[in-house]
Amino acid sequence: MEPKHIHIRDYNYHLPDDRIAKYPLPQRDSSKLLIYRHGNITQDVFRNIPDHLPKGALMVFNNTKVIRARLHFHKETATDTCQPGALIEIFLLEPALPAEYQENFSCRGKCQWYCLVGNSKKWKQGLLNRTLSIDGKDTILSAERIGTNGTSQVIQFTWNGDHTWSEIIEACGELPIPPYLNRKTEASDLQTYQTVYSKIKGSVAAPTAGLHFTPQVLDALDAHDIEREEVTLHVGAGTFKPVKSEEIGDHDMHTEHIAVQRESVRKLLAHDARAIAVGTTSVRTLESLYYMGVTARQLMLSGKATGDAGELHVPQWMPYSDGTPAIPATEALTSLLGYMDRFDLDVLQSSTRIIIAPGYDYKIVQMMVTNFHQPQSTLLLLVSAFINQPGRDYSGDWHTIYDYALAHDFRFLSYGDSSLLIP
């Protein structure tokens, strides 16, 4: 079937609420690990994952860090009363000005973000203000709506004092946890909803497959001769966006921003463009690198390359287009490395809207570590595509994996258990 005509109803299953893990286990690496290997399913404890991986392989992690993206303001009342005005929630999506994440977080005094605004009908115009304390000194933070961008609002934030925007949101923001947990953020989430290797601020949701790793498991990977590499994909709120259209061709994938070091591309080439991906965000990054390499090759051959890596953006349906050349993964990555060398890019910063659905031919990812995903989600489509790839000797079925997990008391979603998929 043409991927655009896939019916999302075919990717539904019954997930009882009591199977959704509301909290993580006390010890990250004591979670269950489902192992799917060429159609056979077994299980183990996550800390033993190195035993199931081939020596000498390359494992790729997403080192993004979740920011405190929820900001709360009270609208000022028209009359002088002791009662606060309407509560307005501003949810940070991605930086608008400056557009580069780290530059934006370093801003002092003013910056702009694309945001979702809760209770927006109560905030027609004017400034929202709140007072916060940093290092014992009061700072006034103000928010002003200055425009729209699709379904999001452009919000300008201003504040006094010599504080960076990163310090401001650390002082007053709330860490966003997934809506399906149906609870408020708690102090423990500040630690448990971050991977132990998180470094680069920017996500509004955690790359949850990585939550199972501990320093001890990472050391065990090293001892097992598994090489580790990190990429960055900032997870957006769109990761929770349900597929509401009947066919996935009518679903708009959200844009996600990635950053990949030149050395990471070299390391992938040293491993013959083959990798084990930790989480669907690493999957989308690695597979997007292939298509960025295809685009870089075309641009350089035509003399149209500019060095602005935004020109390598991966459109949603690019992998399925008849106009997209099919070249070996090593050739695509070699072209991408050549592009970075030509324009002296130590870090490739671009974006992707790639959708991975049944019919997709994986180019780089050979094995995947991932949690159990929501029914009728694009992530479930990604998993289904991975275990049922074109041209493989064995075609699996996502139902087999999920039926096993439900029957054997696996915990689901962000704080749940995980799986190692080897098609």
The residue behind tokens 């844009």 is 255
Residue 388 belongs to domain with CATH number: 3.40.1780.10
Q: What is residue 346's three-state secondary structure?
A: coil
CA-to-CA separations, 289 to 6, 97, 266, 324, 363, in angstroms, rounded: 25, 26, 12, 14, 10
- Is 290 within 8 Å of 333 (Cβ atoms)? yes
Residues spanned by the domain of 222: 3-66+190-422
Q: What is residue 127's three-state secondary structure?
A: coil
User: In the chain, what percentage of residues exceed pLDDT 70?
Assistant: 97
Single-letter amino acid, residue 305: A
Please determine, for residue 238, whether its predicted confidence score (pLDDT) is greater than 80.
no
Specify whether 45 is located in the same domain as 162. no
182 within domain boundaries: no
Specify whether 262 is located in the same domain as 374. yes
180 within domain boundaries: no
Specify whether 26 is located in the same domain as 149. no
Specify whether 161 is located in the same domain as 233. no
Residue 83 pLDDT class (50, 70, 90 cuts): low
Q: Which of 37, 115, 29 is nearest to 396 (CA)?
A: 37
What value, to the nearest 5°, has the Cα angle with vertex 346 and ends 330 and 368? 45
pLDDT, tens only, 112-140: 999 999 988 889 888 999 999 998 889 99
CA dihedral 186, 88, 154, 312 (to 10 degrees): 30
pLDDT at position 71: 97
Specify whether 286 is located in the same domain as 392. yes
Specify whether 248 is located in the same domain as 156. no
CA dihedral 228, 232, 237, 239 (to 10 degrees): -50
pLDDT at position 82: 61
**Interaxial angle between packed helices 262-270 and 329-342, expressed in degrees from 0 to 180 and rounded to the nearest 10:** 150
- Is 3 within 8 Å of 358 (Cβ atoms)? yes
What value, to the nearest 5°, has the Cα angle with vertex 402 and ends 21 and 397? 155
**What total of structural domains would you count in the chain?**
2
Specify whether 262 is located in the same domain as 276. yes
The residue behind tokens 């910063």 is 349
pLDDT, tens only, 330-355: 999 999 999 999 999 999 999 999 99
Single-letter amino acid, residue 316: Q
183 within domain boundaries: no
User: In whole angstroms, what is the distance from residue 81 CA to residue 403 CA?
Assistant: 57
User: In whole angstroms, what is the distance from residue 347 CA to residue 349 CA?
Assistant: 6
Tokens of 364: 């780089």
410 within domain boundaries: yes
pLDDT at position 78: 59
pLDDT, tens only, 163-204: 999 999 999 999 999 999 999 999 999 999 999 999 999 999
For 110, residues 6+ apart whose C-beta sits below 8 A from its C-beta are 156, 157, 158, 159
Please determine, for residue 146, whether its predicted confidence score (pLDDT) is greater than 80.
yes
Tokens of 324: 């997209």
